[in-house]
Amino acid sequence: MSPGLGTTTSPTAGRWRVTFEDVVRVHDDGQVHPVATRKALALLVVLVIDGATSRSHLARLLWPDVAPDAARRNLRREVYRWRQAGLPLQDLDGQRLGLAAGAVAVDRPPGRGRWVEPLIGVAGEDFDDWLAQHVGATPAATSSAPRGPWRAAPLQEPAAADIPAPGAPPFVARVAWLRAIDDAWAAGRSVVLAGPPGIGKTRLALEAAARHGAVLHVAARPEDADAPFAAAIRGLRALREAAPDVVLPPWVLETLAVVMPDWAPDGSAPIPPGDDWPARLAAAGAVALRRLAADNFNVLVFDDWQWVDPESARWWIQLDAADAMQTPADPLPLRLVAHRVGALQPAVLAHLRSVCDSGQAVRLVLDDWSLDEVGQLVAGGLGALAPDLAMKLHASTGGHPLFVLETLRWLQATGQLSAAGTEAVTPATVRLPPSVHDAVRARVHALGAVAAEVLQAASLAVPPLRARALAVVTGVAVDAVEAVLAHATAAGLLVDGGAGLRFTHDLVRESLGESTPVPRRERWHAAWALRAAADGAAPAQVAAHWDAAGDATAAREWHVRAAEQAQRVHALPQALVHWRAALAAAPATAAAVPWWLQCADVLARLDDVAGADAALREAALAADAVPPLRRRVRALQAQLWARSGRLDDAEALLAQVQPDAGEGLHPVLAVTAAEIAQRRGQLDRAVALCSQAAAQWPDEPGALPAIADALHGVARAAAQSGDFATGQQACERGLALLRAVDAPAVASALLSMLGVVQIWRGERDAARETLVRAADAARRGGHPNTRRMALLNLAKLHSDAGEIAACLSMLDELDRLPPAADAVRGELFVAQVRWFAGWLAGDLAACGDQQPRLLALAEATADAYARLSTLQLVVDLPLLCGDLAEAGALLERAQTDPGLPQTGPIRTMVDNKRAWWLLRAGRPADALTLLGAAPPADLDEARLLRTAVQAGALRALGRPTEALDAVQAVALDAGGSGDSLARWLAEWWRCAHATGVAPPPAMQTATHALLAGTRAPAVDRQALRDAMAGVLTSTASAG
């Protein structure tokens, strides 16, 4: 007869209890047990209510939407999980599954509760009907008195091989913290739980989460730091294990198979990492997380996040963003992230601050137990009040939870706690250990010398702990090691977390590691290194053991392997750590040059120009005895200098390493020379040099990314000279080459350049899509400089569309990135966009305040395009506000700049604005002469401004009909650049007024649309209103 639901049943022995209240909660030894999935919870509910049930019925009831084989497999998985957790499930007569008699207590008050609500929809209509039929059942009641964990038996001085189990300590209900977590989740916020080590973050997080249903617990580990995607992989594997019946799209499996090869669909190979792989990985991870978590988990707990590897951190940050985490159709579960105070990596810390400051998350900093809470723990453990003991414990430990628990365990292990009561437990009779480390070590040594040696060796291993591996490392027999592990588990030093044994807390492991003599510790680390290598462990893990063993030479090979592995998945920070470690142990010979070059490449991709330069200097020293190799290194250094704005230094170094006349420039040197030429405004030379490099690059490793980089140089110089067709073609050729290789930095740069070309060609929708792709790829691939380029151009797109708030938001994101490789040039471009946003909004005072800084940056940069674009931008302020002397001085600087090209967009705009200045200075004839000699305008915005100035000059010379013909000759592009469009429309209205021609409807519609928004600067909008008002007044008078 199964227990129904109504009052209370309790076994005479056993640790499990199920309560039916607002949700179903499962308690294990008095603690809420975090149920892995809602399907697992549903299975337990059925067995509690119906008793022993046939496996076939359970499979059909809980997995109605999958094939019978898959349903039975899913059932086996959940049964296995429960048994791993210790729940006594039994197979009866080979067909039925049930709970062992008296193994589970059931507690539910009479009447219908809300516990049924979270289970609705978990397993289909049949299960929902079953819930409706059984929710009102009532059981017979039995009871038994609970026992305190520390009153299990009277303890004598323990023998080395026979230590009694201390039992799980009772959970100290930190009510205020639980309520704060519940309140945050109820308000739709995630929770950030911080505190020092051992304060009880994990236990509180899981207790809070278990109150809301099924929990996915993803814990980072100390060994994760140099293992790219370690935490993310664990989380995804746990999700898939929990929901093996969920079908993921093939592209998701193929993408994630790059880091988890066993996820590749049958018969297919993982997709090789390509240009867009970081973006695809993040997208694939998001899809997998949503689909696998749906109907399986109510809460996601990200624990010990101070140890999360940078790549998992970056992926988690993207998922935790407001726009990624919640969608109306597919919301993610409740979320909590726990970490040690003061131990987060910068990117994680910045993200958590951002989400807390924005109100997306609530940060809670956990403190020590109060005296009352220590008293609650002691009373729960002893089964009686012991205020004097609680006071002494609180005073000696400061209320630190782990210190309190370890001290109590030590008191138990030394026989100072008695089952007879608390009469003998007084401050005078209790001896406390000097520290928690001493308490841990005392408990270990109480297990005997062999056990202490095995556990000290285990403290240096990467979990899970395996008896055979420990036996090999320590030389202790396997059966003896197995006995030690069993006794340590019983003593509460080790715990089986489902994936194998590990220490109950990192402070326990650290205490044992610190107590191991250095010679023994180094010997064991060497043994663990050999064992890890033989087992195929991650190279970073093997390298860490050799480092700890003090053998830098043995570690070097594994650091190189770890660096190469990290680079393959774009884990650049980890790659840098390992390259530096390998080089620290490498002799300064030519053999080390490739490693220095790899290190320099990683530093450059991380925008650490000074670090990359230093690495290249070391490479040059190491290559000193091999002249061709040294020339190659110096050529790369010249390229780095050119790209960071040191043009004169780069040119001088280039002259030292270029071959004799007649041999022609090596492609690397040609690209560097092109960079110098482009920044000096010698655009035709830059195009020629980059085209030569792309055509002549030798067939060598890394050739395709290098050729694509040369094509990027072609595109940039060609576009700046006005040859947009060549620029777009070069971008598309480069991107096509990169489909076969893994070069995300170059791909991001090409996408950004393609977006710029599309902007200049008026293809703004296509440009927006392209630049979003570039920004996403750069962000997810960890390339700050290419991300900066994409975000900057997206900000410009927003400003051109009058979306000032979006523009400023993008600039704020830019400000949070590391400085650009060419810091002055990077700061100048951001300042340009910020100035223009203020200009749009009509904040003339702010624009005036910013202008000196803009001009100083322009003067300091070696990039001609950056200088000239600044001058032609800021000249609008004095031109429109009447300071013609200031405007003339700025235009003179632009006109005499040695980098001003003969053709191209920048030349056209400088000519247009100089003609505009002449017109406003009362020299319309000179303005027409200048425009007549200028090269043709190559951009729509340049043509609009040129036409407006030309028509204004004709009108000023008394030729209004010709002026009207001029403005009518340009097709109306209502979606063009706002400032030039406003100036052209204003001149159209003036010409219409001067000639008496009625404005066409399209002209009126375009005018009203432009005036209704902020696409045009406020000063230009006012000028357009004045011009339009003049026409309307004239028309009304004539009428």
Least confident interval from 168-177, 548-557, 753-762:
168-177
pLDDT of residue 269: 56
Closest CA to 796 of 823, 766, 835: 835
**pLDDT tens-digit readout, 263-277:** 888 755 555 555 456
With a cut of 80, say whether residue 867 has pLDDT above it. yes
Write the pLDDT tens digit of every residue in 355-369: 888 888 999 988 877
Can you give the pLDDT at residue 156? 30
Rounded CA-CA distance 968/659 in Å is 57
pLDDT at 988: 92
Q: Which residue has the higher pLDDT, 612 or 122?
A: 612
Instruction: Spell out the residues 6+ positions from residue 536 whose beta carbon is closer than 8 angstroms to its own.
Output: none
Model pLDDT for residues 589-598, shown as the tens digit of each residue: 888 999 999 9
Non-local CB neighbours of 874 within 8 Å, separated by 6+ positions: 835, 847, 851, 854, 855, 890
pLDDT at 698 over 80: no
Confidence class for position 558, pLDDT limits 50, 70, 90: very high
Mean pLDDT across 519-528? 91
> How sure is the predictor about 659, in pLDDT bands with cuts at 50, 70 and 90?
low
What is the chain's mean pLDDT, rounded? Answer: 80
pLDDT at 31 exceeding the cut of 90 = no
Question: Could you give the percent of the chain with pLDDT greater than 90?
Answer: 21
Asked if the model's pLDDT at residue 742 lies above 90, the reply is no
Q: How confident is the model at residue 382 (pLDDT cuts 50, 70, 90)?
A: low
Region of poorest pLDDT, from 585-599, 736-750, 875-889, 1007-1021: 736-750
- Tokens 């706690």, located at residue: 417
- Give the total residue count for the chain: 1039
Tokens found for residue 84: 């791993």
Q: Over range 486-497, report the average pLDDT.
A: 79
Q: d(Cα 143, Cα 110) in Å, to the nearest integer?
A: 16
- The predicted pLDDT at position 36 comes to 62
Give the H or E element holding residue 18.
Answer: strand 16-20
pLDDT at 164 over 50: no
636: pLDDT strictly greater than 80: yes
Q: 967 phi and psi, to 5 degrees?
A: -70, -30
CA dist 225 and 468 (Å) reads 26
pLDDT for res 951: 94
Please say if the pLDDT value at position 379 is more than 50.
yes
> Hey, what amino acid is at 575?
A
> pLDDT tens digits, residue range 86-112?
888 887 776 788 888 878 888 866 655
pLDDT level of residue 893 (50, 70, 90 thresholds): very high
Neighbour count for residue 350 (Cβ, 10 Å) = 12
pLDDT, greater one: 765 or 411: 765
Query: Percent of the chain having pLDDT more than 70?
Result: 83
Predicted pLDDT at 268: 59
Query: 46 with 61: CB under 8 angstroms?
Result: yes
Q: pLDDT by residue (tens digit) across 436-462?
A: 667 677 778 778 888 888 998 998 988
Residue 280 to residue 673: CA distance in whole angstroms = 35
Instruction: Give the N- to C-terminal CA distance of the chain in Å, as an integer.
Output: 100
Mean pLDDT along residues 954-960: 93
pLDDT tier at 282 (50, 70, 90 boundaries)?
confident
Task: Give the pLDDT score at 173.
Answer: 59
Cβ contact 741:274 at 8 Å = yes
Asked whether the predicted pLDDT for residue 193 surpasses 90, the reply is: yes
Q: Specify the pLDDT at position 152.
A: 27
List Cβ neighbours of 80 (8 Å cut-off, separation of 6 or more). Answer: none
Structure tokens at 117: 């609500």
Give per-residue pLDDT as tens, 322-345.
444 444 445 678 899 999 887 888
pLDDT of residue 547: 92
Instruction: Among 145-159, 169-183, 386-400, 891-905, name the one with the lowest average pLDDT.
Output: 145-159
Which pLDDT does position 728 carry in this prediction? 93
User: What average pLDDT does this structure show over 731-752?
Assistant: 86
- Give the burial class of 402: count Cβ atoms within 10 A of its Cβ; 0-12 exposed, 13-18 middle, 19 or more buried: buried
For the residues 10-31, what does the mean pLDDT come to?
A: 72
Region 791-797: mean pLDDT is 88
pLDDT at position 959, please?
Answer: 94
882 sits in the region (left: phi over 0; alpha: psi -120 to 50; else beta) called left
Q: Higher pLDDT residue, 666 or 6? A: 666
- Tens digits of per-residue pLDDT, 124-157? 788 888 887 766 544 333 233 333 333 322 223 3
Kindly report the pTM of this predicted structure. 0.58
Asked if residue 930 has pLDDT above 90, the reply is: yes
Mean of pLDDT values over 1014-1030: 89
Mean pLDDT within 912-935: 93
Q: What is the per-residue pLDDT across 672-682, written as a single tens digit (0 to 9) for each?
A: 888 898 888 88
In order of 92, 615, 820, the CA distances from 609 in angstroms are: 69, 10, 9
Q: Judge whether 98 and 51 are in contact, CB under 8 Å.
A: yes
**Residue 33 scores a pLDDT above 90:** no
More reliable by pLDDT, 958 or 325: 958
Per-residue pLDDT tens digits for 410-433: 677 666 665 434 444 444 445 556
